[in-house]
């Protein structure tokens, strides 16, 4: 039953169109893919990942979106407002086929309380980042970013490898599930605390996690043994992080590195308070949501206090983009921001070169299409050893979820170049069907999120949210296939605005021109955003690539 979700979620594959063109077909297949039972965390509730990040507002809206896509002409644009299709206008063939706005609330009201009221009235849904913009590709979507983060941490603190180190984290959900694999790919040992056993099992099934432990002693023993032997090992430890971390301190067990990816951005539907079974949590969530939120926030404060104490005792500690520090600070933990966010600590230099989580998906459904594009990367970017290592490792270790796809961090210039290569491969028939090209919203020029992507900007522009809006407008006029503007992704309501973009390589000359434009402007916005903020590497990238910035040297 779950497999087909009452025949709503269909695995469209191959060359036969179910719509009036490949652009509409791509949207349809990606919407279905977001909700595929191999991809989404809770497809029966339309939840893709990240707490309650959804693909459509309700099943009625889902059906109407599907019907609209089937009927949509090649010169029309469908408008989707927080997961509900609201209009179709005649535009032109180079315009996006779909424009989406998700979870946007007027700033003075932009909090979870208002959101939940609107959600209850059926007026809104939470789009997270790639959930409501239909370019989620399962845990792979975050693996390379997580791998890059841990690789940079290893470079800065542990002689370039995590071999012989133990990392502790929590949360094995859609995104957090990438952590154990990213740690072992870097040669290290990982204990990932997760309160929901089914999530641990899912990560073991997909080989993101190696083994499961039911108690802390067992986990510590396994971890220390592997550390001593210099072996990579990941352990999913069943438990609540706000209880386990203090227990670790009590046992004098301090890991080498420490972070967290529980769904702390959402104190009601994401984080599970301490001292509760999952069933008790679910009951309280519906019977007394206010009490739930109170307990949840108090547990997060305990969790962050334990992280701070472990940091003082030597653990390299960082926030992994779930806004847990903000909640703890609001709860009175004054020094919650003493440990840094992962972007300023490890990722920003990449953003300065327009690098970010670029991805593509084979609409044919044939894994061979992705393996052929892997070969193209290895051939065309052979001078980039780090990238080639990544592709080889991804081929070996990453199991596809849903439509076959690949992620790799490419920068300004590289994305447009590779986009053309993919389009040529479709045109020549080397690939069996068109390919969708997109990215996460967690990218260099597409997000304003002061506790995450734009934390500690050099010029203090952390909260300036004009950039993602400019990014979306530019990508739309450039001819992206679908463009989205969201609020609250990653860090929760009130803390972020961000934009998504997806473009289809269908092998035509028109697509080639659109790809050249969009895959230049999109990472170009990242370079510009960081150059404008004063980062030398971004300024250099802008100059060397001839990006026109009227006030670059002023
Ligand atoms: P998810 O909702 O799919 O998974 C969260 C997991 O945390 C669940 O499995 C849940 O059971 C577990 N959990 C909740 N409370 C817990 C507790 N007290 N102790 C132990 N486990 C607990 O969410 P996700 O998609 O994995 O995202 C996780 C968080 O990371 C979100 O806040 C998201 O916004 C953020 N995020 C960060 C990045 C990044 O690159 N840094 C990217 C995407 C998402």
Q: Which helix (H) or strand (E) holds 504?
A: strand 497-505
Taking the centre of ligand 1 as the mean of its atom positions, its distance from the CA of residue 409, in whole angstroms, is: 22
The structure's pTM equals: 0.92
Taking the centre of ligand 1 as the mean of its atom positions, its distance from the CA of residue 182, in whole angstroms, is: 15
Taking the centre of ligand 1 as the mean of its atom positions, its distance from the CA of residue 284, in whole angstroms, is: 20
Residue nearest to atom 17 of ligand 1 (CA): 240
For residue 384, the model assigns a pLDDT of 92
Residue nearest to atom 42 of ligand 1 (CA): 175
- In ligand 1, which atom is closest to the CA atom of 272? 15
Give the other-Cβ count within 10 Å of 470's Cβ: 16
Q: How confident is the model at residue 4 (pLDDT cuts 50, 70, 90)?
A: low
Pocket test for ligand 1, best of 45, 174, 176 (most atoms within 8 A of CB): 176
Contact 447, 464 (CB under 8 A): no
User: Tokens 């434009």 identify what position?
Assistant: 517
For residue 119, the model assigns a pLDDT of 97
Q: Choosing from 190, 352, 388, 408, which is the catalytic residue?
A: 408
Ligand 1 pocket list (CB less than 6 A): 41, 49-51, 142, 145, 170-176, 193-196, 199, 240-242, 261-265, 270-272, 320-322, 342, 442, 490
Candidates 75, 55, 113; CA nearest to 484 is 55
Q: Is the pLDDT of residue 1 over 50?
A: no
Residue nearest to atom 14 of ligand 1 (CA): 271
- In ligand 1, which atom is closest to the CA atom of 321? 41
Packing angle between helix 385-397 and helix 140-157, nearest 10 degrees?
130
Taking the centre of ligand 1 as the mean of its atom positions, its distance from the CA of residue 308, in whole angstroms, is: 19
How do residues 292-334 score in pLDDT, each as one tens digit? 999 999 999 999 999 999 999 999 999 999 999 999 999 999 9
Q: Say how far apart CA 554 and CA 546 lie, in whole Å.
A: 16
How do residues 167-177 score in pLDDT, each as one tens digit? 999 999 989 99
How do residues 39-94 score in pLDDT, each as one tens digit? 999 999 999 999 999 999 999 999 999 999 999 999 999 999 999 999 999 999 99
User: Tokens 């989406």 identify what position?
Assistant: 100
Candidates 174, 179, 208; CA nearest to 192 is 179
Say yes or no: ipTM exceeds 0.95: yes
Taking the centre of ligand 1 as the mean of its atom positions, its distance from the CA of residue 318, in whole angstroms, is: 15
How do residues 186-224 score in pLDDT, each as one tens digit? 999 999 999 999 999 999 999 999 999 999 999 999 999
Q: 360: which DSSP letter?
A: E
Q: Percent of the chain at pLDDT above 90? A: 95
- Characterize 304-324 residue by residue with b for buried, 16 or more Cβ atoms within 10 angstroms of its Cβ, and e for exposed: bbbbbbbbeeebbbbbbbbbb
Kindly report the length of the chain: 554
- In ligand 1, which atom is closest to the CA atom of 145? 40
Provide mean pLDDT across the span 519-545.
Answer: 98
Question: What distances in angstroms separate CA 329 from CA 51, 182, 301, 334, one per listed residue?
Answer: 21, 29, 8, 5
Residue nearest to atom 38 of ligand 1 (CA): 321
Taking the centre of ligand 1 as the mean of its atom positions, its distance from the CA of residue 230, in whole angstroms, is: 28
Q: Which of 119-133, 352-366, 383-397, 430-444 has the lowest mean pLDDT?
A: 383-397
Active site residue 190: no
Q: Which helix (H) or strand (E) holds 228?
A: helix 216-229
- Strands 356-362 and 447-448 turn out to be unpaired
Average of per-residue pLDDT values in the chain: 96
The sign of the torsion formed by the CA atoms of 113, 114, 117, 122 equals negative
Cβ-based burial of 188 (10 A; exposed 0-12, middle 13-18, buried ≥19): buried
- In ligand 1, which atom is closest to the CA atom of 489? 34
- In ligand 1, which atom is closest to the CA atom of 492? 34
The C-alpha angle with vertex 319 and arms to 314 and 324, in degrees rounded to 5, equals 120
Candidates 294, 266, 300, 301; CA nearest to 115 is 266
Q: How far, in whole angstroms, is CA 330 from its chain's centroid?
A: 25
For residue 553, the model assigns a pLDDT of 86
Provide mean pLDDT across the span 131-147.
Answer: 92
- Characterize 73-110 residue by residue with b for buried, 16 or more Cβ atoms within 10 angstroms of its Cβ, and e for exposed: eeebbbebbbbbbeebeeeeeebbbbbbbbbbbeeeeb
């Amino acid at each position: 039953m779950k497999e087909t979700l009452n025949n709503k979620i269909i695995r469209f594959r191959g060359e036969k169109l179910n719509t009036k063109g490949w652009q509409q077909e791509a949207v349809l297949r990606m919407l279905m893919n977001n909700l595929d039972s191999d991809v989404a965390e809770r497809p029966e509730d339309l939840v893709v990942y990240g707490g309650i990040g959804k693909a459509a507002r309700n099943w009625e809206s889902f059906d109407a979106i599907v019907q609209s896509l089937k009927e949509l002409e090649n010169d029309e644009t469908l408008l989707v407002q927080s997961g509900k299709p609201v209009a179709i206008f005649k535009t032109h063939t180079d315009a996006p086929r779909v424009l989406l706005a998700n979870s946007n609330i007027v700033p003075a009201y932009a909090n979870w309380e208002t959101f939940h009221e609107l959600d209850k009235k059926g007026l809104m849904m939470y789009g997270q980042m790639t959930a409501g913009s239909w370019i989620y590709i399962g845990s792979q979507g975050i693996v390379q970013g997580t791998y890059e983060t841990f690789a940079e941490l290893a470079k800065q603190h542990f002689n370039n490898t995590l071999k012989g180190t133990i990392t502790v984290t929590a949360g094995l959900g859609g995104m957090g599930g990438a952590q154990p694999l990213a740690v072992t790919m870097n040669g290290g040992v990982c204990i990932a605390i997760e309160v929901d056993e089914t999530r641990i099992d899912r990560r073991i099934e997909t080989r993101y996690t190696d083994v499961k432990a039911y108690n802390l002693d067992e986990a510590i023993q396994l971890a220390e043994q592997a550390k001593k032997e210099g072996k990579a090992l990941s352990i999913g430890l069943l438990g609540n992080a706000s209880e386990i971390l203090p227990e670790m301190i009590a046992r004098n067990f301090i890991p080498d590195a420490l972070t967290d990816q529980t769904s702390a951005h959402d104190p009601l539907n994401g984080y599970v308070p301490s001292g509760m079974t999952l069933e008790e949590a679910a009951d309280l969530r519906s019977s007394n949501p206010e009490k739930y939120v109170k307990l949840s926030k108090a547990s997060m404060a305990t969790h962050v206090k334990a992280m701070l104490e472990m940091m003082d005792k030597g653990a390299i500690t960082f926030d992994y983009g779930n806004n847990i520090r903000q909640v703890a600070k609001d709860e009175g933990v004054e020094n919650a921001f003493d440990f840094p966010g992962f972007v300023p600590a490890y990722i920003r230099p990449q953003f300065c070169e327009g690098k970010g989580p670029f991805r593509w998906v084979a609409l044919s459904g044939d894994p061979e299409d992705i393996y052929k594009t892997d070969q193209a990367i290895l051939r065309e970017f052979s001078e980039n050893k780090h990238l080639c290592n990544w592709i080889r490792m991804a081929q070996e270790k990453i199991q596809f979820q849903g439509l076959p796809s690949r992620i790799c961090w490419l920068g300004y210039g590289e994305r447009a170049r590779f986009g053309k290569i993919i389009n040529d491969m479709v045109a020549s028939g080397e690939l069996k069907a068109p390919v969708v090209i997109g990215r996460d919203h967690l990218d260099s020029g597409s997000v304003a999120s002061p506790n995450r992507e734009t934390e500690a900007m050099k010029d203090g522009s952390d909260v300036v949210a004009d950039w993602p809006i400019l990014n979306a407008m530019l990508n739309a006029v450039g001819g992206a296939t679908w463009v989205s503007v969201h609020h609250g992704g990653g860090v929760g309501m009130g803390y972020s605005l961000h934009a998504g973009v997806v473009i289809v390589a269908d092998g035509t000359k028109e697509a080639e021109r659109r790809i050249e434009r969009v895959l230049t402007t999109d990472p170009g916005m990242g370079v510009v955003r960081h150059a404008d903020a004063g980062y030398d590497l971004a300024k250099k990238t802008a100059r060397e690539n001839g990006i026109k910035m009227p006030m670059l040297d002023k």
